[in-house]
Amino acid sequence: MARSLTLKNLPDDLYGRLKQAAQQHRRSLPTEAAFMPDQIDAFKREGRP
């Protein structure tokens, strides 16, 4: 089942980085934010901080 996600009160620097990543991946901001935990887990598995 699909769910919706609303992002509010993000710091400007975080918003800018998220927006840039979303544009690079051709995703919306909420969709990019939903992928972030997967990316963090992948970095941890690779031993990256």
Whether the CB-CB separation of 31 and 4 falls below 8 Å is answered with no
Amino acid (1-letter code) at residue 4: S
Q: How far apart are CA 11 and CA 48, in angstroms?
A: 24
Tokens encoding 28 = 């919306």
Tens of pLDDT, residues 14-30: 889 889 989 999 998 88
Residue entry with tokens 């990316």: 39
Tokens encoding 32 = 């990019």
Region class of 47: left (phi > 0), else alpha (psi between -120 and 50), else beta: left
The pLDDT of residue 20 is: 92
**pTM for the complete prediction?**
0.66
